[in-house]
Structure formats: structure tokens, C-alpha cells
Structure 1
Amino acid sequence: MSVEPFDAVDVIRTKRDGGAVPEDALRWMVDAYTRGYVSDAQMASFAMAVLLRGMERDEIRVMTDAMIASGERMSFDGLGKTTVDKHSTGGVGDKITLPLAPLVASFGVAVPQLSGRGLGHTGGTLDKLESIPGWRAALSNEELTAQLAGVGAVICAAGSGLAPADKKLYALRDVTGTVEAIPLIASSIMSKKIAEGTAALVLDVKFGSGAFMQDIDRARELARTMVALGTDSGVATTALLTDMNTPLGLAIGNANEVRESVEVLAGGGPADVVELTIALAREMLALAGLPDADVEGALAGGAAMDAWRRMIVAQGGDPDASLPVARETHTVTAARDGVVSRLEALPFGIAAWRLGAGRARAEDPVIHAAGIDLHAKPGDAVRAGDPLFTLSADDDARFERALAALDGAYEISDAAPARAAIVRERISA
């Protein structure tokens, strides 16, 4: 029986006392945890020490690299195309990946968008796309590469071989109160994205009511940490800090978000969704060496829609099929004349989740037709009796708890609110 070169208790004590864990000891800790030598209890103790004491930039780099080394690392070197990806930290109504991937791919750039499923109030990209009849999320590495070579865009599930250490640590953080540790969030996101093999990466780091990071300063720290990690690993990385105090667009759910994404690809759609899609596309294309790409022209001229249709068909979906529609709806109307002054993202995300659009546990099914359609956004004038939003569900018994989540979440005032920019800052190395 081989003797382990380090002791987990020593590593925990070093971090507990505010020290930097030496590189070889930190790499060993991640590896030993992945193979089951270091226990969940020990890793939970280490994660709490990181939450309370933080990590130096070099420690976060080593931790990320060790998590990448725990599994396979993909490569698109033989593709003959530049690869660029986008990662969002998640929000309410955030369907941006859907129009963005085909839009960027329409310029001859490959977009390997390995996405996840929703848990809690933020929806998962794969759940949204599974509203489309026949569409499948699981692709082999060979299918993924072939689709990137042909269509240029892939939105699919990440394989289990990428950063297995992260999968194990992520589940542990979820049940030990250590999710919020910025070094652990950054290493979790970036280990998967770097292992995915993309040459460039744009991060959409959200702040506000409906975001994972509600405070803009914490969101900025996370963005800077992730940009540094990408840069240190040879991946060209930039980040946009974006506002998630109000839901993005008018649709919150799954099937209704697909409908809204198709509207954007057809040259329409809500102004905020279009604005953020264009901003992220420009950022991605600049990293891919196309700083002067006519992004608006690709939307208006149909090139992005053509790429979307090819992408859906390639994964077994029917882009012309009818999307699911809920059996029951409930519309809330304005109680008075005025201007919508507030529409808080988090309660609307929770309400959509309670309607069945999200899941409380990883194994729960998602009701694709459930969700919320907004009829007015902050700044819009309404008259008493005008519809404000419509709840959709397959069971009208769900409306009561959804409405309870929305109590106090929106406001009609006499004056319009000041308009806040969606993209607040750009962060680069």
C-alpha cells in the first residue's frame, strides 16, 4: 500500500490559519478527494476555510489546474476554425445563449457551448432547448466536433469526463454553506471551460436581485478572478458585468424563452435581449479576430436564423414544430394608472420555478410550458386594468404559491425610473 505524500489535516490547518497551501499539497488534495482518499468531511472543512480565509491568485490557478487534470481535456486544434465560448453566471429570463451561439457561428467562428440544467430560480439552457420536439442535449465528442466543423455552433451537455473533481466538490459546496466562496466559484466555472478546449471565452457576470452575486463589487471580484484564471491558462478571456435586477426580456421559463430567442434571430425581440446579445457577440468576435463584424446585419439579414435552424436540425430538433403551451393561465393586471417603476428579478424567477419551469432537486422534471410572460417592463406606461404579466402552468393549483412569491415584487409609480445600462463594465486582463 502506497504512502500518501501529504495529510489533509495539515492542508486544512494551513488554510484555516490564513496561509497559502503549497502547490504540490493543493494538487494532492484535489486528486486525493477525487479518488476518495480525502473524505467529504475533510474537503468540507477545507472549503469552509477557503470561504473564510480566501486564496491567493496562484492558489486559485493551481486549484483550477488540478480540477482540469482530474479528467479529460478536449482539443479543437484540428477544426480549422477559431473557437470562442460564452459563460453566464445565470439569471432570470437569461436566454442569451440561444440566439448568441448561432449569431457568432454565422461569421465562420466555432462556438462549443457546453451548457447545464437549471436548479432553483435560474433556468438551464438545455431545459429550454428540450422544449423543441426531438432536440437532444447529449452528444458524443465525435458528434460535437463534426457539428462544429459543419454548422459551427453546438449547445449540448458537458460530458462527465470534464473536471470530475469539480462535479464532486460542487455537490459538497451546495450542502455545506460554501457555495459563495469566490475562489471556489471561479475554479469551478473555469476548470470546466478550460477543459472544454475553447481558445477564447467571454464571461457574462451578472449582479443584482436575480443574480448569483447580488452585489456589484463581489461580481466584479469574481469576474476579475475568472479573467485572470483564463489568461493564466492561455485562454483569451474577457468579462462583461451585466445588470440582473430586472428579468431579461419578456419571457421567463423554457418554451416561451425559446419563442423569444427565435424572435431575436428574426430581427425582432425585446430591446434588452437584443442589446446584450449584440454586446456579447461583438466581444466574442473581437476575441476571434473579427472586431469589425456586422453583428446587427447578421440578425437583420437572416444569417443568424439560418445558423440556428441548422444547429437545431443537427441535434434532432424540428425548428418548425409547435412548442408546448400550458393548460392553465392567470393574468395579473395593473391596479392603477402610472408607469411600471420596479420589476424585481428574483421573485419572478422563484415564481416561474414554483409554476414548474425549474426544479428543486436535480432529478425533478421540468414543465416546458410553465413560466411567466411579462406585458410591461420598468419605464412602460400602463392604465388600470392593463395586463402586467401572465402566469402559465399545467395545474392551476400552482398559481397561489407563485403569486405569493410576487407579493411586493413590482410597483407602479407616477414617474418613470432612471434607465440603467445593462452592460455596466468590461473587464480584461
Structure 2
Amino acid sequence: MTTEHFDAVDVIRAKRDGLALSGPQIDWVVDAYTRGVVTDYQMSALAMAIYLNGMSRTEVARWTGAMIASGERLDFSGLSRPTADKHSTGGVGDKITLPLAPLVATFGVAVPQLSGRGLGHTGGTLDKLEAIPGWRAALSNDETLAQLEDVGAVICAAGSGLAPADRKLYALRDVTATVESVPLIASSIMSKKIAEGTGALVLDVKVGSGAFMKSLPQARELARTMVDLGTDAGVRTVALLTDMSVPLGLTAGNALEVTESVEVLAGGGPTDVVELTVALAVEMLAGAGRPAGEDEVRAALADGRAMDTWRRMIAAQGGDPDAKLAVAKETETVVAGEDGVLTRLDAYAVGVAAWRLGAGRARKEDPVQAAAGVQLHAKPGDRITAGQPLMTLHTDTPERFERARQSLDGAWEVAPDGTSEATAAATPGKLILDRVA
């Protein structure tokens, strides 16, 4: 029988009492939890103590390192191109990874985008791409490396060997009301990204009603913590704080968002999606040592180069880039009740509506509908008239419409033309709120 170096109760008590955990305590508790020596109920108590009392920069760095050490590390040093990755903290209509990965790869940078599935009101990149017939998320490490060398971009599921301690702890945080802890969010994201082995990382930290971080100070704290963790680990890391009070683009849902992403790759698409895709691409290219200006990046969308890379990336993972995507069996239109200017459209409410229509899941094992979601016909600042369609709800199961409509109660506001509210809404707010490096 193995003799353990520490006792879980002592570690929990120390953090409960507001003390800093020592490096060896952290290494042991993460390893012991991964091995099953520390139980779920003990780790729940420790997670709550961390949530309530926080962690120092030294503690967070050691905790992140221990989570990385719980599994394998990928090595991209054999590639002929530098690597850069992007991580978003999650939002509504956030399909940016889809056009961004092939766009950056077009400039000779390899993009190993290990992505996840949606949970609750935020969509998952893998769910979106699985709306493309034949496309597969699960690749071996060898397949990932070969595709990065050949195509330059891969979007796939993280292997089970990458930071297994995080996989276990994430599921526990979800059911113990400890998700919103900055040290736990930062170490969860960064343990996977550092273990992934990318040379440069750009973080898209969402702020607003549709994001985890509702306020700018909260988002800045998370961004600063993650940038410090990346920098300390030798990864060139920068964060953009971006607005998530309004959905990104005009769609929330899987096939709907793929269609919108292809529009961006074809040189069109909604202005906000293009703006954020370009800004993140510029940051990734700079981090990878292949700097390009905004005009150069936009040109790669306009002239079809990024689209060519997208088609190769989808085909390499078994998908048919020309396949028709699923269309919902049922739709319902939500119309405006009055004339005026749309002054508010709540991202969280739209995300919940898409989720209730079948685009997301309540539990990790739930299936999702490829065609379900919300299509927007107006955004804040647009002039609307009574009876005009505001949004179209899509689902294969019409009994879901009622609950989706309920989530949209009070989700938007309209002000009469000429009022100060209408004038303010017509002046677009900033999409990129801050940069942390």
C-alpha cells in the first residue's frame, strides 16, 4: 500500500482558513485526485475553499503545472511552421474559430485548435462542425501532426490524455457551483493549452450578459491571470477582452453558424464576425513571428485563399465542404411589436433560446440538433417597424418553441426614433474592449 505524503483534510483546512497551499501540497492533491485517492467530495470542498478564498499567482501557476503533469504533452517542434492557437471563454454566436483557423494557416502558421463541445447557453465548436456531413472530431496525435504539416490547420477534440485532472475537476465544478472561480477557470483553460504545446496563444475573453464574466474588472482579472500563466510557461500569450452583451453575428446554432462562417470565408458575412476574426488573426500571426497587417489579413478572406484552406481542412477530416447542411423541419418567426430603433438584444436570452430549441445540451451526454438555433434579422441600432421579423427560431421538435419564446421575454428593447436611447444605439459600441499582454 502506497504511503501518501499529505492528508486531504489538512489541505482543505489550510485553504478553508485562507492560507496559501505549498507547492508539494498542490502537486500531491492534484495527483491524488487523478488517482482516486482524494475523493470527489473532498475535492468539492477544496474547490469551494478556492472559490471563496482565491489563490496567489504562485499557487495558480503550481496548480496549473500539476494539472499539466497529470497527462501527456503534445510536441509540435517537428513541424516546419510555427504554431499559434486561440481560446475563447465562450459566448453566443461565437463561431470565430471556424473562419479563423484556416485564415491564419493561409499565412504559413500551423493552428492546432483543440476544441470542445457546448454546455448550457454557449455553443461548442465541435458541435458546429459536426453539422457538416462526414466530418469527424476525433483524431490521433499522428493524424493531427500530419494535417498540421499538410494543411496548416486542424480543429479537433482534445485527446483524453491531455490534462486528465482538468477533465475530472471540470465535471465536478459544474455540479458544485464552483465554475466561476478565476483561479479554477484560468488553470482549467491554460493547463490544456500549455499541454497542447502551441508556441503562441491568443485568448478571447468575453464580457457581458452572454459570457461567464459579466463585468470588465472580472474579465480583466481572468485575462491577466491567464496571460501570466502562459508567459510563465514560455508561451507567447495575449488576451483581447471582447463584448458579449449582444450575440456575435446573426446566427446561434450549429448548421446556421457554419453557413455564416462560410460567408465570412467567401469575403462576406456580418461586420462584427469579420472584425473579430481579423483582429484575432493579426494577434496570432504576430505571436507566431509571422506578422501581417489588417489589410493583408482581410485580403486573404476576399481573394479566396482562406476558403481554399477551409475546404482542405474539412476534407482532411472526412467532411464534404460542398454538402448541403441540415435544415430545421419547423421554424417560427418572432416579430417586432412597435416601430422604432432596436436598442438592446440580450445575448444570454438568445443563447438560452437556441439551447432550448435543441442546439445545445444540458448534460455532456445529451445529443444536439444540427439544424436548431436562432437566426437574427436585426441587431441593436437597426430601425424596425411593427410586424417586422426580429428573429426566426429553428428546430426539428416544435414542442420546444414555447420554452424558447419564454426565454426571449424581455430580451430586447425598442426606443422611438429621435430619443437619446435610439441615438445612442445607432452609434455602434466597441467590440474589442481591451488588450492584456
After TM superposition, list the pairs within 5 Å mapping 1:122-133 onto structure 2.
122-133=122-133
Deviations 1:190-236 (A, max 9, x none): 00010011011000000100001112111110000000000000000
1:285 counterpart letter in structure 2: L
Range with greater deviation from structure 2 (127-136 or 7-16): 7-16
Match of 2:329 among 308, 327, 330: 327
Counterpart Cα distance in 2 of 1:269 and 1:220: 29
- Aligned equivalent of 1:423: 432
What does 1:138-153 align with in structure 2 at a 5 Å threshold? 138-153=138-153
Aligned twin of 1:12: 12
* Residue 203, structure 1, aligned to residue 203, structure 2: yes
1:354 corresponds, among 347, 356, 381, to 356
Kept in 1, the 8 Å contact 2:44–2:176? The answer is: yes
User: Would the aligned equivalents of 2:97 and 2:125 in 1 still touch at CA under 8 Å?
Assistant: yes
Give the CA deviation at 1:386: 1.5
Cα-to-partner distance string for 1:115-167 (whole Å, 9 max, x where unaligned): 00001000100000000010000001010000000000000000000000001
2:101 match: 101
| CA-CA distance at 1:292 after TM superposition | 2.7
- Which amino acid is 1:269 matched to? G
Structure 1 position 427, deviation (Å)? 0.3
Counterpart of 1:86?
86
Question: How far is 1:290 from its partner?
Answer: 2.3
In 2, the alpha carbon distance for the partners of 1:268 and 1:3 equals 62
Distance apart, 1:10 and its partner CA? 1.3
1:402 & 1:278 partners in 2: Cα distance?
Answer: 33
The amino acid that maps onto 2:436 is I
Please identify, of 22-31 and 378-387, the stretch whose mean Cα deviation from structure 2 is larger. Answer: 378-387
2:117–2:123: 8 Å Cα contact kept in structure 1? yes
User: What is aligned with 1:273?
Assistant: 273
Residue of structure 2 equivalent to 1:180: 180
Normalised to the residue count of structure 2, the TM-score between the two structures is: 0.97
Give the corresponding residue for 1:372.
Answer: 374
% identical equivalent positions: 71
Q: Residue deviations 1:248-303, cap 9 Å, x none?
A: 00011000000000000000000000010011001101101122341011011111
Deviation at 1:175, TM superposition (A): 1.2
Q: Distance in 1 between matches of 2:256 and 2:45?
A: 42
AA matched with 1:304: A
Give, in whole Å, the separation in 1 of the partners of 2:152 and 2:80: 11
For structure 1, which runs of at least 5 residues remain unmatched after alignment?
none
Segment of structure 1 superposing worse, 83-92 or 283-292: 283-292
1:44 aligns with 2:53: no
The structure 2 residue matched to 1:308, chosen from 292, 299, 310, is 310
Q: How does 1:397-412 map to 2 (within 5 A)?
A: 397-412=399-414
Partner of 2:340: 338
The DSSP-based 3-state class of the residue aligned with 2:66 is helix
Aligned CA RMSD, in angstroms, stands at 0.8
**CA distance, structure 1, for counterparts of residue 176 and residue 358 of structure 2:** 26
Among residues 384, 387, 390, which one is paired with 1:388 in the alignment?
A: 390
Cα drift, residue 96 of structure 1: 0.2
Contact 2:109/2:290, CA 8 A, preserved across alignment = no
Kept in 1, the 8 Å contact 2:207–2:213? The answer is yes
What is the CA distance between 1:337 and its match in structure 2? 1.5
Structure 2: stretches of 5+ with no match in the other structure: 417-421
Instruction: Check if 1:282 corresponds to 2:291.
Output: no
Q: CA deviation at 1:247?
A: 0.3
SS state of the match for residue 95, structure 1? Answer: coil
Q: Distance in 1 between matches of 2:410 and 2:225?
A: 35
Once residues 374 and 307 of structure 1 are traced to their aligned partners in structure 2, the CA distance between those partners, rounded to angstroms, is 28
Aligned equivalent of 2:291: 291
Cα deviation, residue 334, structure 1: 1.6
What is the CA distance between 1:2 and its match in structure 2? 2.7
Separation in 2 of the partners of 1:174 and 1:419? 35
Moved over 6 A (4+): none
- Residues 17-26 or 263-272, more deviating: 17-26
The normalised TM-score by structure 1 is 0.99
Q: Which one-letter code corresponds to 1:70 in the other structure?
A: S
Whole-Å Cα distance in 2 between the matches of residues 8 and 202 of structure 1?
36
Deviations 1:405-425 (A, max 9, x none): 000001111224142101000
Q: Give per-residue Cα distances to partners, 1:343-375, cap 9 Å, x unaligned.
A: 000010000000000011111110010001000
Check whether the contact 2:33–2:43 (CA below 8 A) recurs between aligned residues: yes
Count of aligned pairs: 428
Helix, strand or coil: the match of 1:142? helix
Match of 1:160, as an amino acid?
S
Q: Determine helix, strand or coil for the equivalent of 1:178.
A: coil
Distance 1:11 1:252 in 2: 43
In 2: Cα distance, 1:295 partner to 1:127 partner: 27
Q: Hey, what's the Cα distance between the residues in 2 that align with 1:265 and 1:18?
A: 50
Q: Distance in 1 between matches of 2:292 and 2:166?
A: 37
